[in-house]
Amino acid sequence: MAATTPAAPSAPAAFWDRAQAHLVRYGAEFTHEIIERAAGSQVFTADGRTILDFTSGQMSAVLGHCHPRIVATVQQQVARLDHLYSGMLSRPVVDLAERLAGTLPAPLAKTLLLTTGAESNEAALRMARLVTGRHEVVSFARSWHGMTQAAASATYSAGRKGYGPAAPGNFAIPVPNSYRPDITTADGTLDWRRQLDLAFDLIDAQSTGSLAACLIEPILSSGGIIEPPPGYVAALHAKCRERGMLLILDEAQTGLCRTGTWYAFERDGVVPDILTLSKTLGAGLPLAAVVTSAEIEQEAYERGFLFFTTHVADPLVAAVGNTVLDVLTEDRLDERARELGRFLREGLAGLAARHHVVGDIRGRGLLAGLELVLDRGTKQTSDALGAQVTRRCLELGLHMNIVQLPGMGGVLRIAPPLTTTHDELTRALTILDQTLTETCATL
């Protein structure tokens, strides 16, 4: 049967009827807005509303929506060279691989270009298993690494129930959450060294002697914008070295200037064995990368590494990636993220001083987390409170993402584009202030 032609723009009620009739629901409920277009830090709805997009799309539009240089690159490249047989190479692909290596410390020099974060983590885990000859993988208990098989098996924040067995040999370790410490020192602060030691005591007890890799985010995003304490990642790296494991860092959301440095791992003085990039690399287009050393790549090649996908090394999105690097460099967006991040943090601190429901502020650069609580003393969380605040902010013109995990629904994720302005940040803080005032009055 032939496909029908697209329907003319319909009334909102008819639009939602059609959506309900024909779309598979794949996560949380759809935001009840029809989005017509977007530009910069704003999206525009069918009913004429303007909404500040402080999720950067799916935490990806690091340069804002429809950045003119991205638009120009897509228009020019799609008319010249868009897609190739996966065994063919083009100049944008080699240029991007070389330029990524130039942004990274040695020995990270070899790049595989893919499409999504899940795909890049899948490839990284496949490579680690092949090179080490082992299969076991360690990740954080609130991790999110994607929805494909190996990535989903290393994801513990959601989506594990009802799908049958995960890949064998996957282990979770506790998240070093300083705001909610589970193992403490005498003064009540997180004893992360003891926590890490105990975690690996359990890993060693369960392992069959086949530990291949540890896959983590340097700042957990879906897990609640949780940043491991200084020194933690280096100590984790040492645990990996002791066991012959590779350290894989997933910088889907933290890479490419969002945290105020090009890569979040720079703070810790640790160079991963394998780095995965996605969301921010394509600035909203489907582009991801696996970056590793020449030594690991050579070993993988000699062992027959296979990751031959339909859109590996596609020239169109590679050209976009080169433009993203151009804009990040020329506009010094790492410095801008640091400066705007300080401004945002000061604004959030002001909200905390006025509203008792603000329990914790965390994050780095323009990746911020705001945890709401019913009681600062007990740190009692409330998914309902987080949902109420998120819903009212959207009504007032601010879209922020709430962590969609049971018991973590009071954490707001704030990640505006790096091109956002002081005025837009001020407007967002004003909306959040009004929302918290109204919400606190109802508690």
Q: Which are the catalytic amino acids? A: 144, 217, 250, 253, 279, 413
> Between the CA atoms of 237, 238, 239 and 242, what dihedral angle is there, to the nearest 10 degrees?
130
* Distance separating alpha carbons of residues 418 and 197, to the nearest angstrom: 37
- Residue 151 contacts residue 135 (beta carbons within 8 Å): no
Among 420, 371, 435, smallest CA distance to 220 is for 371
Token pair for residue 358? 């603000």
- Residue 215 contacts residue 233 (beta carbons within 8 Å): no
* Distance separating alpha carbons of residues 420 and 55, to the nearest angstrom: 12
* Distance separating alpha carbons of residues 411 and 407, to the nearest angstrom: 9
Tokens 């976009």 locate to: 320
Among 129, 128, 101, smallest CA distance to 113 is for 101
DSSP result, 279-330: HHHHBTBS-EEEEEEHHHHHHHHHTT-----TTTT-HHHHHHHHHHHHHHHH
Residue 94 neighbours by CB distance under 10 Å = 13
- Residue 263 contacts residue 275 (beta carbons within 8 Å): yes
The contacts of residue 168 (CB under 8 Å, 6+ apart) are: 135
Secondary structure, 3-state, 383-421:
HHHHHHHHHHHHHHCEECEECCCCCCCCEEEECCCCCCC
